[in-house]
Structure 1
């Protein structure tokens, strides 16, 4: 998520820019509005932002002076200038101050989109570079943590993942110091290093950086910045770890997984037949007890509960989509005894077949 501060002395322009900026991307939000440079700096003393979009001429303090102050006090921020003045000197000075673009009013959506994309790209590039420098200097001191990750992945210890993530976050925070915005790129750098380490075991894993949507309000107070970026880093570490675990487990259990999928497909096609566990296990050439264990491990349920779920799902469809009687439906999904069928149906849905049909047809 990228947060934007708008500084412009015209209310309508601030409102229009807010709308245009938030149309650009769901990950780009306007966090603050200010009528001049002085107000913008006052806002920044109490709030966090990644990007400053500012007019050039404003009362009390103009945009160029504001950019200079932002560079000095908040060096992680990138600025975009939006101006009514098509003057070379203004544009030249803004570029010298590091502004990513100089846009002439009225602001065109496409132009603004391009400026925002470049600003976000520059923010991300700078932070990745800064994180990489910290990482290269310090990583030799954290080999123990690296080995913890590799061991837990090799042994698929998902139950201890939360503790591993917390310990890793503490380690990364010791690198970032008060530059909390570096926790995100540091987390990705850490995960990428884990992936590189696992390549030695012929594991091919693709990581995608997640989004921070829904983790916080549009506006972040300065005393909450650490909490926000810690939360973002936890999400990145957890999502990355789960992806790595999933790939590792899929490789380790590939033959077993194929067997389970084959059995599920067989049950889906033959749910109305008289099935027994030995017959099902024989289809994939696995002993009955071992197969029962594998199925529960892979699906989280037993073979019989899976069969019941399939049968009851089909029974529900027949109950609501046809005029068949309960005993006919029971027979169609594999039950000779309609009373037993009704008991199982009620255990599954909390209502008898007749009650369920009546409730759904109200």
Structure 2
């Protein structure tokens, strides 16, 4: 996700920029706005942003001075200057300070759109390059973790995935300290490395960066930053590992793949309900007994273990992103008995709900 701070002393301009940004795609979010550089710096003391779009001439602290402060205190951010002053001096100064672009007012929607996309691409490229270099530097000391991933994927050990992901996350986080914004890219670089190892076995899979929709609010307070980026990295690792697991299974014919995907989709939509085997058989258009056999053969996992994994994933998101109690979360993901739910959670993640939350947030 690309979280953007807008800084302009005209309220209507701020509103117009917000409208343009939110119309680009659901990946780009306006996290905050300020009427001058001083307000912007106060906001940044308590909130996170990837990008700043700022006017040049503003009271108290102007746009150029704001960029200097951002370069000094928030070096991971990129800035785009938007100004009505067609003055080469401002362009020259802003670019000299490292601004990624300079857009003139009145702002053309497509021009701003392109500027944001180019800047976002540069941010991602820079972070991924750093993550890849760090991976090469640290890997010699963590080959055991790489071997663990390769072995468990080759032998399709689904049940070992949750704890393996948590252990991998802690390893990656130990490399970066409090620069949590590198976690997602490190997770992607790690998956790419695992995929390279598996390619020896002729397994080909295209890994793409996922979306973090639903994992955090538009505006992320500094105290929630670590939890947010850890959860994003966990999702990257889980999604990537699942696709690698699937690619390691024998290829199924198209009708079988469609039946399995239909069952998965149904479970994803009804995981909080009491699902019967007959319902799933009806979805796959096969018999009750055969749907269970088909699913296990195609995925290496039983239907009920898959259902539990979906429920546990939803429960984990609720546990880390809401103040809800364990019994409330249990009910929301389909369990009337919170004790039974906690046992399943521990069996899945290797830790009880409270212990897992503490490990993820401390």
* Shared fold, TM over 0.5: yes
Q: Deviations over 1:231-254 (max 9, x none)?
A: 1000100000000000101x3xx4
Q: What is the match of residue 186 of structure 1?
A: 186
Matches within 5 A, 1:11-90: 11-90=11-90
Matches within 5 A, 1:94-109: 94-109=94-109
- State the alpha-carbon separation in 2 of the partners of residues 24 and 260 from structure 1: 37
Q: What is the match of residue 244 of structure 1?
A: 244
**C-alpha deviation, 1:294, in angstroms:** 4.5
- State the alpha-carbon separation in 1 of the partners of residues 291 and 240 from structure 2: 31
- State the alpha-carbon separation in 2 of the partners of residues 67 and 259 from structure 1: 54
- Size of the aligned set, in residue pairs, is 270
Following TM superposition, where does structure 1 have runs of at least 4 consecutive aligned residues deviating by more than 2 angstroms?
257-262, 291-301
Q: Which runs of 5+ in 2 are unaligned?
A: 260-289, 304-362
Q: Deviations over 1:152-209 (max 9, x none)?
A: 0111000111001000000010112111000011000000000000111111111111
Q: Which runs of 5+ in 1 are unaligned?
A: 265-290, 302-362
2:297 matched to 1:298? yes
SS at match of 1:242: helix
- State the alpha-carbon separation in 1 of the partners of residues 65 and 136 from structure 2: 36
SS at match of 1:201: coil
**C-alpha deviation, 1:33, in angstroms:** 0.6
- State the alpha-carbon separation in 1 of the partners of residues 254 and 85 from structure 2: 69
Matches within 5 A, 1:316-327: none
- State the alpha-carbon separation in 2 of the partners of residues 67 and 23 from structure 1: 25
- State the alpha-carbon separation in 2 of the partners of residues 8 and 259 from structure 1: 54
Q: What is the match of residue 155 of structure 1?
A: 155
Matches within 5 A, 1:1-362: 1-249=1-249, 251=250, 254=251, 257-258=252-253, 261=256, 294-295=293-294, 297-298=296-297
Change (3 A) 1:183 1:296: closer
SS at match of 2:20: helix
SS at match of 2:200: helix
**C-alpha deviation, 1:122, in angstroms:** 1.2
- State the alpha-carbon separation in 1 of the partners of residues 12 and 255 from structure 2: 61
Is the Cα contact below 8 Å between 1:38 and 1:60 reproduced in 2? yes
Q: Deviations over 1:16-68 (max 9, x none)?
A: 11111111121001001101001100000000000000000000010000001
TM-score between both structures, scaled by the size of structure 1: 0.71
SS at match of 2:45: helix
SS at match of 1:175: helix
SS at match of 2:23: helix
- State the alpha-carbon separation in 2 of the partners of residues 261 and 63 from structure 1: 58
TM-score between both structures, scaled by the size of structure 2: 0.71
Say which one has the larger Rg.
Answer: 1
Q: What is the match of residue 326 of structure 1?
A: none
SS at match of 2:156: coil
Change (3 A) 1:171 1:103: same
Q: Deviations over 1:73-99 (max 9, x none)?
A: 000000000001000000000011111
Change (3 A) 1:101 1:183: same
- State the alpha-carbon separation in 2 of the partners of residues 118 and 261 from structure 1: 41
Change (3 A) 1:57 1:247: same
Cα RMSD between the aligned structures? 2.1
Is the Cα contact below 8 Å between 1:36 and 1:62 reproduced in 2? yes
